[in-house]
Structures are given as C-alpha cells and as structure tokens.
Amino acid sequence: MPSPNVLITAASRRVPLVQAFRRALHADGGGRVIVTDVNALSPAVYAGDRAYLAPLASDRSYLDEIFAIAHAERVGLIVPTIDDEMPLFASAADRFLEDGIRVAVSPESTTSICNDKYATCTALAAHGVAAAASYLPREIPSPAPLPLFIKPRFGRGSVGAFPVRNQRELDFFLTYVTTPVVQEFLDGPEFTIDMLCDFDGVPLAIVPRERVVIRAGVIDRGRTVKRASLLQLAEACAEALPFAGPVNLQCRIVGDRPVIFEINPRFSGGIPLTIEAGVDFASMLLRLARGQRVSPCIGRFRENLWMSNYESSVFLNEGQVRLEPLRRAGVAEVA
C-alpha cells in the first residue's frame, strides 16, 4: 500500500485544509502532512507536521524540488492548491505515479481550460451545459447587452473583476483590466459546488454551498443547500470535462436555473463547511490514493448547515522562524 504521507503545496493560509488531512490521517492509522510555501511566515507552514521552502510555480526547478521533497518524505499523495501550478502537476502526474505518488489533479487539458475563464464557458456551452455567455473584447455585440461583468481572463480571487453598467464603464474597463473577458451579468444568489471525482473522472460527492457573504473572493458566511438542479449541474460539468480529485464550480441561479461562470479544479476555500456537513473529502481522497474503493455519496450531506468564518493568528518566538534553508538535497526545510 502506498505511503500515507500527504504533501500540500503552496499551503499559505490553508490551515483548515492542512488540519483536515491531519485528522483524516490520524483517524486512518497515522501518517504525516508535509507542506510547502514560498514564505516561512505563512500560517499553514506551522500547521503541518513538516514544512519546506519551495520556489514559485513559475520557477523552472519547481517540479524537481517538489519531486525531491515528496521522495524524501515518502509521500503517497500530493495536493496542489493554486491555479498556476495545476497544469504543471497535470503534465507531470505520470512521472510522480511511477514513483508511487498520486497527484490530486485533473488532466492537463482540463486544468488549462479551467485556468481560462473564456475557454471554460465556451467548452461547457459546447456540451449543452448552462454557462455564462462570454466574449473576448472583439466579440462583444453592438450594441453591448448591458449590464455585463468584466474580469481578467486568467485571473483568480475576484481580483480585477467589475460590474459594467453602461458603455462608458465598458470602454474604460476594457483598457483597465488585463487580458479581459466579458460575461453576461448573472443577477442571482451565488453558489460554490464542491465536487470530488475519482481518478477515472466519476463524481463521488457533490455539495453545493450558498455564498451569502464573500470576502476577498472567499466565502465568509454561507450554508449548505440540497437542490437537485445544482447537483445535476455539477454532474453535467463532469460529463463535459474530465476531472480527478477536488473541483469547485462557481455559479449563480438566474430565475430557477443555475448558470456556471467559473470552474477551479482544486480545493475551495470553503471546503471546511463541506467536510463539517458530513462529506470528508480529505479522507475520501486518501483512500482513492491508496487504491481503495470509494462509493459515491452524492446528495448525502447535512443540509442548511451554516458557516461563519473569523480570523485566527499564529504566534512565533524569534527562534521559531527559520527563513534560511537548513539543508540541501534538492529540498530546503523551513520547519
């Protein structure tokens, strides 16, 4: 059986995700959670069992560094967490698997499409999935079907995203937003749908969550919602695009129909609510990585469970912060 150790990359502020995997490992007989980050002061660095400094995903040595860490720590599962690194890990998934390491990442074609908001909606619409009408600047109809919504085509975290109410705003934001994509304005309640697929692309769990209050692009207050149309939308997306591991789908309900506007093939920031609602994605993913069978549990979760987030802090004495690498064997340890 593969090693139970888990490596979470670019851990940053994802303390709840690290804790979820630690709990899952403890309940399953043991194992360690190793994390990487570019900053030794990132809070998740101190939530794992061990942590390593790693270069940016744009660095040419990034995958080699991660491979060295995973090999040295006898890792059986790697969990990438940021959009930029998903295509990299997807392209190298077979290399890691040859060393007995599963990477929780969707196929390279899917990760590339999902990193491109225009390509995402275009691909879904081509498969008959309800997706926001999306335009590149040269494709915007005349007159423009206002109101609209504009954002970076390759952005994340709601940075640079703006509603557009008139032609003057449209003209301005087309020059202000870097590599923009323009979408129809979806006026309705916003939802994230957490979905976990096995390594053959079969959906195992789907948990919709209403994003009642959003802060910096992440759910601040929200609740689980059991609605058939949302479950069916996620299943339709899984038929249109091959996924593996965690996925979160962003949609709004317009009238009585949910419409997708973005997909992120990774863990969402609101995953603690899904886990607390009774669907432990971390535990299920560990079992998948070990080659164990995991039965689908779609629709089986606690409905109308609310989550209200708050800030927490990590306090470190001077000697506990290690900014310099402690050893070098293809890896650099920070904690």
Q: For position 157, what pLDDT does the model report?
A: 65
Residues 100 and 15 in one domain: yes
Q: Note the pLDDT of residue 323.
A: 53
Output the pLDDT for position 333: 53
Residue indicated by tokens 């206002």:
146
How is residue 240 written in tokens? 């249109």
pLDDT confidence of residue 329: 39
Helix (H) or strand (E) holding 205: strand 203-215
- Indicate whether 227 belongs to any domain: no
DSSP letter at 179 equals: S
303-331 in b/e burial notation, b at 16+ Cβ within 10 A? eebebebeeeeeeeeeeeeeeeeeeeeeb
Q: What is the pLDDT of residues 215-240, one digit of tens each?
A: 777 778 999 999 999 999 999 999 99
Question: Tokens 């879904």 — which residue?
Answer: 124
| Per-residue confidence (pLDDT) for residue 1, from 0 to 100 | 53
State which of 150, 184, 218 marks the end of a domain.
Answer: 184
Compute CA distances 281 → 48, 113, 164, 197, 198, whole Å.
Answer: 18, 24, 37, 10, 11
Q: Is residue 324 part of a domain?
A: yes
In the chain, the number of structural domains is 2
Q: How far from the centroid of its chain's Cα atoms is residue 2's Cα?
A: 24
Q: Are 36 and 11 in contact (CB under 8 A)?
A: yes
Question: Of 149, 184, 219, which residue constitutes the final position of a domain?
Answer: 184
Could you tell me if residue 169 is inside a domain? Answer: yes
Inside any domain, residue 22 = yes
pLDDT at position 276: 97
Kindly state whether residue 215 falls inside one of the protein's structural domains: no
Q: Are 165 and 147 in contact (CB under 8 A)?
A: yes
CATH of the domain at 177: 3.30.1490
Domain harbouring 16, CATH code: 3.40.50.20
pTM above 0.95, yes or no: no
Query: Within 10 A of 234 (CB to CB), how many other CB atoms are there?
Result: 27
184, 203, 220 — which closes off a domain?
184
Residue 92 within any structural domain of the chain:
yes
The pLDDT value given to residue 91: 97
Residue 328: the pLDDT is 42
CA distance 276 to 208: 13
Asked if the structure places residue 112 within a domain, the reply is no
Q: How confident is the model at residue 220, as a pLDDT?
A: 84
Structural domain boundaries enclosing 160: 133-184
131-157 pLDDT, tens digit per residue, is 999 999 999 999 999 999 999 999 776
Which residues of the chain have a pLDDT value below 50?
Answer: 324-329, 332
